[in-house]
């Protein structure tokens, strides 16, 4: 058996708080066993079952603010924010190769994007900063570089993207027009259209805007929001490769990603 290891309104939940949690779970059809104020295996299983049933909660067995709010035990579903604790000097220690002037210029827009999409808890702030370490280590929005993966031998730049139907491209010049940009290297006509609509910017017709810091920050946060539960599930298991795949589709830049995340974990 163990007591409940979470904080609600600044107080450690135990005793009557756990009984309230257990009763709420039982009322929702997820009986935890005895309503005894002890957060044991039965309560853990009931919390996880309830979280899975909701579909948009992380099934981690932790009765955090979002789970408690869904159970009617609190009106504040906001996760504890660390955004105000993230300084340029901390980011510089996470990404030691990034020029400090870039960090000072672009950290604000990155944090603003995370705030807009409600991703200011520690794990998602670290995910965002570590993603930048992997995708645009200089800590500024940038264009995708030419490589053998996007340009054929002797071909025009980004010709291997021109006819990528999976990216929504329709032939030249779509490859170059919708190449990777920003903090997260947004790529492909369909992604520019989709994420442009989500953040309220016409990126399909103005793709260069993806490199403006404020817009790049919104794209990064919006993209991570779409993958939030899968990212957090991977991070809980310390599976950094799986977390990285949610953004990149592969493990490109995994070393930089993991190193920055682990550094930040100790600093924030």
What is the Cα–Cα distance from 4 to 104, expressed in whole angstroms? 40
Domains of the chain by residue range: 7-70, 83-141+217-267, 159-211
pLDDT above 90 covers a percentage of the chain that reads 81
Quick one: pLDDT at residue 13? Answer: 57
What is the Cα–Cα distance from 196 to 215, expressed in whole angstroms? 9
Assess whether pLDDT exceeds 80 at residue 3: no
Domain 7-70 belongs to what architecture?
Answer: Orthogonal Bundle (1.10)
Quick one: pLDDT at residue 14? Answer: 66
- Among 3.40.50.300, 3.30.20.10, 3.30.300.30, 3.20.20.80, what is the CATH number of 159-211? 3.30.20.10
Question: 116: part of which helix (H) or strand (E)?
Answer: helix 100-116
Region 197-204: what's the mean pLDDT? 98
Assess whether pLDDT exceeds 60 at residue 4: no
For residue 253, the SS3 value is coil
Assess whether pLDDT exceeds 60 at residue 85: yes
Give pTM, 2 decimals: 0.84
- How confident is residue 232, by pLDDT bands cut at 50, 70 and 90? very high
């Amino acid at each position: 058996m163990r007591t409940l290891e979470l904080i609600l309104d600044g107080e450690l939940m135990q005793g009557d708080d756990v009984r309230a949690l257990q009763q709420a779970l039982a009322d929702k059809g997820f009986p935890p066993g005895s309503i005894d104020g002890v957060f044991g295996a039965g309560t853990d299983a009931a919390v996880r079952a309830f979280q899975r049933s909701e579909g948009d909660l992380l099934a981690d067995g932790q009765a955090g603010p979002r789970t408690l709010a869904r159970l009617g035990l609190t009106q504040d579903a906001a996760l504890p924010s660390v955004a105000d604790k993230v300084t340029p000097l901390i980011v510089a220690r996470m990404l030691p190769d990034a020029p400090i002037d870039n960090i000072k210029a672009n950290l604000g827009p990155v944090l603003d994007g995370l705030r807009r999409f409600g991703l200011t808890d520690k794990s998602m702030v670290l995910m965002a900063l570590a993603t930048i370490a992997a995708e645009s280590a200089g800590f500024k929005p940038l264009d995708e570089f030419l490589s053998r993966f996007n340009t054929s031998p002797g071909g025009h730049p980004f010709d291997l993207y021109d006819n990528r139907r999976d990216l929504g491209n329709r032939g030249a010049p779509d490859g170059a027009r919708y190449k990777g940009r920003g903090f997260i290297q947004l790529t492909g006509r369909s992604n520019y259209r989709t994420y442009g609509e989500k953040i309220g910017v016409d990126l399909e017709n103005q793709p260069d805007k993806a490199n403006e810091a404020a817009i790049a920050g919104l794209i990064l946060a919006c993209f991570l929001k779409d993958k939030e539960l899968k990212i957090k599930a991977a991070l809980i298991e310390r599976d950094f490769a799986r977390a990285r795949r949610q953004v990149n589709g592969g493990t490109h830049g995994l070393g930089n990603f993991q190193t920055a995340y682990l550094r930040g974990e100790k600093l924030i």
